[in-house]
Amino acid sequence: MENTIHATQAIVTLDVALPGIIWGWMITLNMWAKSIGTGVILVGAFLLYRHKKEEMPNLRWMMPLLAFIFLNIFLLFTLTDLHHPYRMVNIFLHPHWTSAITVGAWMASLFTGLITLMLLIGIGDAHPGVPFKGCKLTAMGRSLSPLYEKIFPFVVFLAVPVTLYTAIIMAESSARELWQAPAEVMQMMWAAFMAGSSALILVSGNWSKEARKDLALVLAIATFFSFMMYMGEYFFSFKSAEAEATLAFVHSGGPYNVEFWFGMVLGFIIPFFIAMGNMKSDNKTLLKLAAILALVGLYMAKDVWLKIPQLLNLS
């Protein structure tokens, strides 16, 4: 700041009203839901690599079901946040490929399509009578059963860029200096592992102890590294005047200080210790509590990180 001495202090005395927060809670919800949608696929793939399917009897249909639900929440709020939702079709008719929004929309649509197919197959195989006996969709899913294993590796591969593209949108938002691509990319990845493991923990009631132990391990690692990255940015930041001014909103006395630390303690510190403890002695209830806390805390952390750079005046 150049206005710290009397001779140079400068104050705006006449100006227009400036925009406040442009991307609000809908974008937070969008990012949070996408983390779950792609995270369950990434963590599910890890579990399938490590364990036999029999140890996680409902994973084959539960994983695409969770992904399907949360990807649709993500897509719904992506659409709802647009001022002209029907013009979303322009992204497909007039794509502009330098934009991470365009690339992301195409990849997320393809990803959701493949997840829908996996869900149909998964449900068709596991519950032929759902939603009703003789349902043609479920029957079609059953008939395509061998396809599940064939498309799954591609879906896992696609889950990575679908997870990461929001970080590139944030990096392309040149006006917001707090959002640096390397940090945001890693935060998105950790968020997906956090959210994915948390969501799967909530449906892992009848899974083997070993599978749950792995879920706890993923949750512990993801919360630890994500927390460390937040702390790195919080205390040391990307050294620029804008980043420092942005972080003042979460530092002591800042309007987002309480929400940030609430999110950190609730979503990262407590779940980390519960997950670590759970690796020694299996406690389903405590682990589920950790999962819920992690999901709540993750939402709060994402909300703060999305909003604070927008509080800075750009001109």
CB of 87 to other proteins, least distance (A): 4
Q: Whose Cβ is closer to other proteins: residue 121's or residue 250's?
A: 250
Tokens of 236: 């040391």
Residue range at the interface with other proteins (CB under 8 A); choices 56-64, 115-123, 173-181, 267-275: 173-181
Q: Whose Cβ is closer to other proteins: residue 87's or residue 209's?
A: 87
Angle at which helix 270-280 crosses helix 209-235, to 10 degrees, equals 150
Nearest to 260 by CA among 295, 235, 234, 226: 234
253 lies in the binding site for other proteins (CB under 8 A): no
17 lies in the binding site for other proteins (CB under 8 A): yes
CB of 278 to other proteins, least distance (A): 39
Tokens of 139: 């029957």
Nearest to 28 by CA among 296, 299, 250: 299
241 lies in the binding site for other proteins (CB under 8 A): yes
Interacting residues of 157 by C-beta distance below 8 A, sequence separation 6+: none
CB of 28 to other proteins, least distance (A): 14
Q: Side-chain half-sphere of 92: how many Cα atoms within 13 Å?
A: 10
81 lies in the binding site for other proteins (CB under 8 A): yes
Nearest to 45 by CA among 195, 166, 196: 196
CB of 30 to other proteins, least distance (A): 11
Interaction residues for other proteins, span 36-75 (CB under 8 A): none
Interacting residues of 245 by C-beta distance below 8 A, sequence separation 6+: 312
Q: Whose Cβ is closer to other proteins: residue 8's or residue 252's?
A: 8
Q: Are 195 and 291 in contact (CB under 8 A)?
A: no
169 lies in the binding site for other proteins (CB under 8 A): yes
Cα–Cα distance, 73 to 30 (Å, whole number): 7
Interaction residues for other proteins, span 85-104 (CB under 8 A): 85-88, 90-91, 94-96, 98-102
Name which position in 50, 82, 145, 153 contacts other proteins (CB under 8 A). 82
Q: How many residues does the chain have?
A: 315
109 lies in the binding site for other proteins (CB under 8 A): no
Q: Whose Cβ is closer to other proteins: residue 14's or residue 252's?
A: 14
Cα–Cα distance, 171 to 13 (Å, whole number): 33
Q: Whose Cβ is closer to other proteins: residue 27's or residue 222's?
A: 27
Q: Side-chain half-sphere of 82: how many Cα atoms within 13 Å?
A: 14
Tell me 267's DSSP state. Answer: I
CB of 238 to other proteins, least distance (A): 12
Question: By the criterion CB under 8 A, which residues form the site for other proteins?
Answer: 1-3, 6-20, 22-23, 80-88, 90-91, 94-96, 98-102, 105, 169, 172-176, 240-242, 245, 310, 312-315
